[in-house]
Amino acid sequence: MKPIQSPPGVSSPMKNRLRKRPDLSLPLPLRNVALAVPLPLPPPSSSSSAPASSSGTQTNSLSELERVNRIGSGAGGTVYKVIHRPTSRAFALKVIYGNHEETVKRQICREIKILHSVDHPNVVKCHEMYDNNGEIQVLLELMDQGSLEGAHVWQEEELAHLSRQILSGLAYLHRRHIVHRDIKPSNLLINSAKTVKIADFGVSRILAQTMDPCNSSVGTIAYMSPERINTDLNHGRYDGYAGDVWSLGVSILEFYLGRFPFAVSRQGDWASLMCAICMSQPPEAPPTASQEFRHFVSCCLQIDPPKRWSAQQLLQHPFILKSTGGPTLRQMLPPPPAS
């Protein structure tokens, strides 16, 4: 490559400028590999109803899915039960509201590729993603008995079995460096085989961060850890794994009590919830509970994040180990709605 020549009659300033202090030099900045961020994936070649590559399920077109009924909805989208006509298999189709910018869709595509590789009996399987004229639709494993929201599991043997399933899925995600960020009863689903699975992670986290840049915590803060709500705690550092464990502890204690464990309503205003979670002592299991369960809850609900046990450690807790692995779990489902 030839050097750039100055125009005729104009001398190059670099040639005339003498270096006054040849002993001085600026060092190159050191690159912190831990802070490296992967580049986004390129956009899909077609913006029609083209699915992402599937795992174990071949649904070539969105038109092959027949909507049966709506099974849930929230601030981010609606979930439908669908039937794949060629195979007659039932799935859940999550339709995420709105037409998203290309950068958001690229992030979702990248996250879906990660979710496709997730394969664990206690994590809801993500099969495909469709870009339907800018509207994101995700095909998921159908959990036909719904969520555990409102469940009252007061028998400790059944609660230990439930907790072991959730912890097994959560430990798997954490080993793969996936933080859920939204563990709560409504995101813990159950099927007719009484298998409990963790749902609603990945895409919802991206949307929470991109739809509203001023509020990355879309939804309730009821199950969030104190240091996530109040960033002044823990010196401003947030450990997502420890945050998941706190949310798990709140959820498990709620199952046992049959109510939200703090002294406020989980639907309460932000200020009341913040005071209850950040400025009060963590809730405890009642004295009538076993010593193992009370200790298990305290291992999850430590104010200091480093003192919380990891999901893998909790799997070895005496409360979990006493689970026989096959109770009826008859009390895990909320009562049927009154007609």
C-alpha distances out from residue 153 to 38, 148, 244, 258, 338, Å: 42, 10, 21, 7, 20
CA 58 to chain centre: 26
Contact 304, 246 (CB under 8 A): no
Structural tokens at position 187? 């995101």
DSSP for residue 110: H
The identity of residue 56, as a single letter, is G
Give the Cα-Cα-Cα angle 270, 258, 226 (nearest 5 degrees). Answer: 35
Catalytic positions, written as ranges = 182
Q: Is 94 annotated as a binding residue?
A: yes
C-alpha distances out from residue 40 to 99, 119, 232, Å: 19, 23, 32
Structural tokens at position 152? 């009252």
Q: Could you list the residues known to form a binding site for ATP, using ranges.
A: 94
Residue list, annotated binding site: 94
